[in-house]
Structure 1
Amino acid sequence: MSQAGKIARRTFLIGSATIVGGVAFGTYLAKRAIPNPLLQDLADGEAAITPYVKIEANGITLITPRADKGQGSYSIQASLIAEELDIDPVTATISPGMPGPAYFNSAVLQEGVPFPAYDQGAVAETMRSFMAVPAKIFQMQVTGGSSTVPDSYIKLRMAGAVARETLKEAAAQRAGVSRTELKTDAGRVILPDGTQISYVDLAADAATIDPITDVTLRDPSEWRLLGKVNAKRLDMVAKCTGTEIYGIDYAVEGMVYASVRANPGIGGDLLSFNASAAEAMRGVQKIVPIKHGVGVIADNTWRAFQAVNAIECEWSAGPYPASSIEMFDILEKAVDNEDMYDHRQRDEGDVSGALERGEVIEATYRIPYLAHAPLEPMNAIARVTNTACEIWTGTQIPLFIRNKAAQLTGLDEEQVFVYVQPMGGSFGHKLEMTHVEQAVELAMAVKGTPVKMTWSREEDMTHDYPRPAAVSRGRGKVADGKVDTFDLSVSQSALTPNWFGRLTGTTIPGPDATITTGSWDQPFDIPNYRVTGYRAPDMVPVSSWRSVGASGNGFFHDCFLDELIHAAGVDPLAERIRLCLDDASRKVLETVGDMSRWDGSTPGENRGRGVAFCMSFGVPVAQVIEVTKTDAGIKIDKVFCVVDSGPVLDPTNFEAQVFGGVIFGLGHAMNAELTYENHAPQQDNFHAYEGMRLYQTPVIEVKALSNASKIRGIGEPGVPPAAPALANAIFAATGQRIRELPLNKHINFV
């Protein structure tokens, strides 16, 4: 059969199709036909329509296309399907599937609409729904923005329900009974007389009938898997026993090993190199010039590391200022500079008029560049032949990788196969693909041989696309014991256009909302309220970091609000509650007060407590942090954290994600920064880029609320309030107002 014959039925919105003697079920919310990844490698006469469920003679496979970087993504996606399909996901094969446009993320762009998340009016909701269109056009098969659950919550349950009802129909036709008389349980259809027929046995019959698309999703009161405290992530045993196979562990028969060195000034060129010493080293097989650098192919990774470092390289200067001092000077000049104006999504009352009258409170804040620094450095295996390119790597952007590899090799996109692997962390790092481009370049130099390319830790740190550095200037006023005027300006280089341009070569026009995300969209009703973003010139190429714009703006916004509240002479928590205009957010603040027994009193001599709030990714989060001032420095004693992300699908994992977000946020606030000299970061390994130490970790209490009307993701929202809550607590304990991160530049921690 021709390829056209294979794809003739892929316009079904919900469908089933024969696959290797079995059946596939799937859904996608789109009107135009989208190519289906399962069309690759099908035999003549077979077809597949956007499947999330495959049932074959050897069992059931659940397709979980959002990548897993340690946050439990595969597990929750599988559970969403399995809940409706009536199977235990432990009995199924879990696979990310092959990348394809059908798996676009319909929720990932919703953060970019010009409406705060607490605005759920008709216009705002229509705009959010519309964001699925560019996500589809740009084939945004992306894992990020805490969007996996919002994107999958209905979609994957529908896939499971359609599969279940179609299998019941197949059983009904075989038994000569009505489908309404049948039940399902544990991967079987149960007939009225008690006879059980396995899904596997019914797969071939199901492939011959039209799918049952008129399905009703089960009420949460009927759930067996979702929302249960005893739910166990599917990857826990492997990760606890050290048997998980991450991308860096994966092996392909006959592969060689490689590493690279690129210009430490990202984007700069390699002018010349002398590889004579490297060529003489044991195990070295080939020296390969690559874009912006040079690579070594050897017989193991360690020898590749040693050899590539032995190459003498002459680099051009990086295409941005050489030092952090120069970069911050640019950011300082950009803030409040009308020539750098980018956007203003919040402008209420008469801020300019209010600031012309009476005493104005002013403060300037700074945050540094931050590396992602996951435990697993960048790595990829690539094999290139004249007819195909295969790539094995952990990635959040598999379809972008497929398209880029096609460009590099000159192959058709259909000839590129990306096999997504579990990731040993990311925090946004694996939203990039420079390492994959390098692996493909190396593989093209030894066609037919798989090349496993691994970055050294030093290469990983110095060639990270970091979280942007930024400067913020706050001006405000208080009146009658209340916050009256709040004016915040933020300057940083563009993030989203920078990232999207690297992936696609396409420039995104218009403003970059990430400059002020986490500051303009906070649910407070201040009489005169303005937040403005200023777009500094591009400097170090930057990228998304866990909680993106809110990672820094949460610090800027809440710390300056805390300064104004202190100037007004009122209680920090009470004033935030008074200003709050969103019911769910107000309840979060009230609950964190109850948890921490906040009564406005001082917790004791040399002790302090700070409160902070940030809504990010639609999730309101409040934290109270208690600290003690010692002779040696600040000790963080306890953190209380309240979160409302709507219905909680996995309570155990929810708590773990919030714990991790708090520790991640605190560790970076305390210690971490990238500083630049000669265009390169000075911090090139973990010894120079410390997180929070185990002995410094406080007691953390987490509480989930479910007052919000929508279900949200939880991987990132726990991060933004941590830094301001800590800074506010330090002020309460010491009287020292610190306006720059990391805090250890101004105070010690014990």
Structure 2
Amino acid sequence: MGRVGTIARRTFVVGSVAILGGVAFGYYQYKRPAKNPLLDRLADGEAALTPYVLINAEGITLITPRADMGQGSYSVQAALIAEELDVELDQIRVDPGPPSKAYYNTALANDAVPFPSTDQSMAANAMRGTVDAIMKFMGMQLTGGSTTVPDGYEKLRVAGAVARETLKAAAAQQSRLAVSQLKTERGAVVLPDGERIPYRALAAAAAQIDPVTDVTLRPSTQWRLVGKPMQRVDMVRKSTGSQSYGIDLRMEGMVHAAIRLNPRKGGEVVSYDATTAETMRGVEHVIPVTGGVGVIADNTWRAFQAVDAIDIEWGPAPYPAAQDEHWQALADTLDTANPDGQPRDDGDMDAVTATIQAEYRAPYLAHAPLEPLNATVLVTAARVDVWTGNQIPRMSQASVAKMTGVSVEDVHVHILMMGGSFGHRLEDEVVKRCTELAMALPGTPVKLTYKREEDTAQDYTRPIALMRGRGAVEDGKVAAMEIRVASPSVLDSQMGERQGLGLPGPDSTITQALWDQPYAIPHYRITGYRAPKLAPVSSWRSVGASQNAFFHENFLNALIHSAGADPVEERLRLMTDLPSRKVLEAVAEMSDWGGSSGANKARGVAFSLSFGTPVAEVIEISNTENGITLDKVWVAAEVGRVVDPTNFENLVQGGVVWGLGHAINSQITYADGGAEQENFFDFEGLRNYQAPEIFVRGLENRDYVTGIGEPPVPPAAPALAEAIFQATGERPTEMPFANRFTFV
């Protein structure tokens, strides 16, 4: 790696493009370091050597601003810093830090440009750099899009190196030795005679000198942590049940709240009668909030009981009341609407006579994390404090400031460990509703916990989607494929309804993982259609790729079958991206593709490139007299660098189980304007006895790094669909598959 001060080619292009485009920022502003937010809250003897490293007499704290929802992001961020800081993971504490522009996400630009991730040309990287600069000036602190590792891979190691060299400089002043004579090891500067000066003993001195920013990152041959199996920093706490989550928070003087919102999301409250609730044991207040009613009580259970006792008349839903009407809205959109975008149109699809046509459906899906939504808010005249699990801390900070009239600087958002999210905590409705309740009780910390049923009813789900495809084959090859997909807009729902912003152009999530697949099909068209606003929707693990890979790969498998070709060989023939080819070749080798699977067994394969990460999966099933069993899954993925092989394997396995479980069992449907499903009993995941054995291989054939939290999800459903077709002769066209097939 080069020096921090070196102008990289990509950075230079960023500055040039920004100036030529008339954007009001330049190279100097883009490269200028953000203000270190830790400096505003330093105690005596503490040193914040970078925004990511805090040292005092008690020890070392590493700031890990990408939220941890169970995916291990605190550990991987800490490891990247620790690698260059020369500390071990058992020597440090982690803290998500305060909301700050300094923690803007540098990797969000990759999916925000009209170039496929496989395009690493100067023009593509220039636009990514320009978008990155905009993200920096906006201070876009967000966890999502599988960006934790690509965002932090270099800058967190740089932060560790800067802190290390600054501590060495402080030790050099103290010992009157040259910096070149000093080494670092296990949280200490080591002098030539072997004397060790702990970092914590150098904190006060280091705080008085300018950080040493002219640093060089170590080559991978010298790494101690990165690329090697690690024990996560939360392993002991989670194994012993001592890990604290937002739902566990307790404070002196806290009161507890429950809430009921209109199950017809966005509908109003016509009237309510809280006479019975107000007389129930432990109830202190009944408070109206936007779209519903809240109860304040002396514990959560009593608040739950009381809020259910309120007689409420709800207003109608601002969207179709019945599920069939939602599907009809999508069909009408495909029939009559102008395209929202057509990001791919190769060849001349209009001249093709289609020989194969198909229609596929994907349902609404809830996030349903194990930890229901919760937040605690304390409002005073001088400041507001918010404690919650959250993926958008600066947005929530701004929302609370607007609601309370307190300045943004005086809204303090404390991010807590989350028991799952899958995109759920990209919404901050729970923070807003809790703030409303806390504003009615200034000086009192109010903890709001959603009942599981309320969490499900109010979830901003994955959008419903309808796809129509047509294609043709020639001489045993796929010659043409057109996909038209209609869906409500995730970005319009998020930006318009919750953030008060307009969506200036097409919603890229509608065609995500469709247009940018690395296939050279001669006639190849992808068109997205934005449906009218239906039920409110949001990002769900792998966003548009979760349904679009099912559409794309399922239909591609149908075309390949019609051509009489092998699903792996035909994909390899069509594939234009070498790392993607290697992924497909790897999964074929892992699964012994082409070999005998045995009696009553069948296999399916699918590939998807999402969030910059190509993933291929082969699924083997058995077709028994009692139904279909999932036997084995082989997965290969290319991420450029596997930071922690253990966590990588776990994330891939979890993504496969997540994708399969929802493809088989799950849907949210609407009746009378409200979600019909309430809890895990009618929104099932994959059962333990249904889970297959999963084999994982991470490839490192690229010189840039991408994430793995979401990309294993999209190929799971189409690979299973193909295996089902091979076993039964029937191709699944609609999820959940259990509506049509039996699984045991």
Tell me, yes or no, whether TM beats 0.5: yes
Matched-pair contact (CA < 8 Å) for 1:606–1:734? no
Deviation track 1:77-131 (CA, whole Å, cap 9, x = no partner) reads 1111111000112211210111111111111232121111111111111112222
Distance in 2 (alpha carbons) for counterparts of 1:742 and 1:136: 40
Distance in 2 (alpha carbons) for counterparts of 1:47 and 1:405: 30
1:46 CA displacement: 9.9
SS of corresponding position for 1:688: coil
1:20 match: none
Which amino acid is 1:260 matched to? I
Distance in 1 (alpha carbons) for counterparts of 2:401 and 2:109: 25
1:379 CA displacement: 0.2
Which amino acid is 1:410 matched to? G
Distance in 2 (alpha carbons) for counterparts of 1:361 and 1:153: 45
Which amino acid is 1:340 matched to? N
Distance in 1 (alpha carbons) for counterparts of 2:543 and 2:501: 21
2:321 match: 322
1:639 match: 633
1:555 match: 550
1:622 match: 616
SS of corresponding position for 1:184: strand
1:748 CA displacement: 0.8
1:528 match: 523
Give TM-score scaled by structure 1 length: 0.94
Among the aligned pairs, what percent are the same residue? 55
2:271 match: 272
Distance in 2 (alpha carbons) for counterparts of 1:197 and 1:32: 32
Q: Decide whether aligned partners of structure 1 residues 157 and 677 sit closer, same or farther in structure 2, where only a CA change above 3 A counts.
A: same
1:209 CA displacement: 2.1
1:244 match: 243
Q: Decide whether aligned partners of structure 1 residues 188 and 294 sit closer, same or farther in structure 2, where only a CA change above 3 A counts.
A: same
1:77 match: 77
Which amino acid is 1:264 matched to? P
1:582 CA displacement: 0.7
SS of corresponding position for 1:340: coil
1:609 match: 603
Matched-pair contact (CA < 8 Å) for 2:50–2:159? no
Distance in 2 (alpha carbons) for counterparts of 1:282 and 1:137: 51
Distance in 1 (alpha carbons) for counterparts of 2:715 and 2:42: 49
Distance in 2 (alpha carbons) for counterparts of 1:46 and 1:132: 32
Matched-pair contact (CA < 8 Å) for 2:49–2:166? no
1:5 match: none
Distance in 1 (alpha carbons) for counterparts of 2:455 and 2:137: 32
1:716 CA displacement: 0.5
For 2:499, which of 501, 504, 514 is the aligned residue?
504
Which amino acid is 1:404 matched to? S
1:648 aligns with 2:631: no
Q: Decide whether aligned partners of structure 1 residues 456 and 37 sit closer, same or farther in structure 2, where only a CA change above 3 A counts.
A: same
Matched-pair contact (CA < 8 Å) for 1:474–1:489? yes
2:416 match: 421
Distance in 1 (alpha carbons) for counterparts of 2:36 and 2:178: 33
1:724 match: 718
2:579 match: 584
1:197 CA displacement: 1.2
1:169 match: 169
SS of corresponding position for 2:517: coil
1:127 match: 127
1:703 aligns with 2:697: yes
SS of corresponding position for 2:154: helix
Distance in 2 (alpha carbons) for counterparts of 1:40 and 1:175: 30
Distance in 1 (alpha carbons) for counterparts of 2:129 and 2:695: 35
1:32 CA displacement: 5.3
Which amino acid is 1:330 matched to? A
For 1:347, which of 321, 332, 345 is the aligned residue?
345
Distance in 2 (alpha carbons) for counterparts of 1:45 and 1:379: 36
1:575 match: 570
Distance in 2 (alpha carbons) for counterparts of 1:147 and 1:303: 40
Alignment of 1:32-51 (within 5 A): 34-41=34-41, 51=51
Alignment of 1:339-418 (within 5 A): 339-355=337-353, 359-418=354-413
1:176 CA displacement: 2.0
Deviation track 1:129-173 (CA, whole Å, cap 9, x = no partner) reads 222123223321100000011111111101110111111111112
Of residues 170-179 and 83-92 in structure 1, the stretch that sits farther from structure 2 once superposed is 170-179
1:53 match: 53
For 1:597, which of 592, 600, 607 is the aligned residue?
592
1:222 match: 222
1:335 match: 334
Give TM-score scaled by structure 2 length: 0.94
SS of corresponding position for 1:335: helix
1:747 match: 741
Distance in 1 (alpha carbons) for counterparts of 2:393 and 2:152: 18
1:174 CA displacement: 2.0
SS of corresponding position for 2:340: strand
Of residues 495-504 and 664-673 in structure 1, the stretch that sits farther from structure 2 once superposed is 495-504
Matched-pair contact (CA < 8 Å) for 1:247–1:394? yes
1:235 match: 234
Which amino acid is 1:352 matched to? D
Which amino acid is 2:192 matched to? P
1:309 match: 308
1:65 match: 65
Distance in 2 (alpha carbons) for counterparts of 1:37 and 1:222: 31
SS of corresponding position for 1:700: strand
Q: Decide whether aligned partners of structure 1 residues 501 and 111 sit closer, same or farther in structure 2, where only a CA change above 3 A counts.
A: same
Matched-pair contact (CA < 8 Å) for 1:493–1:537? yes
Structure 1 unmatched runs, 5+? 1-11, 15-27
Of residues 175-184 and 306-315 in structure 1, the stretch that sits farther from structure 2 once superposed is 175-184
1:658 match: 652
Distance in 1 (alpha carbons) for counterparts of 2:73 and 2:46: 30
Q: Decide whether aligned partners of structure 1 residues 411 and 48 sit closer, same or farther in structure 2, where only a CA change above 3 A counts.
A: farther
Which amino acid is 1:661 matched to? G
Which amino acid is 2:387 matched to? W
SS of corresponding position for 1:115: coil
Matched-pair contact (CA < 8 Å) for 1:519–1:531? yes
SS of corresponding position for 2:472: strand
Distance in 1 (alpha carbons) for counterparts of 2:641 and 2:413: 34
Matched-pair contact (CA < 8 Å) for 1:336–1:489? no
SS of corresponding position for 1:471: strand
Q: Decide whether aligned partners of structure 1 residues 502 and 41 sit closer, same or farther in structure 2, where only a CA change above 3 A counts.
A: farther
Matched-pair contact (CA < 8 Å) for 2:47–2:56? no
SS of corresponding position for 2:572: helix
RMSD: 1.8
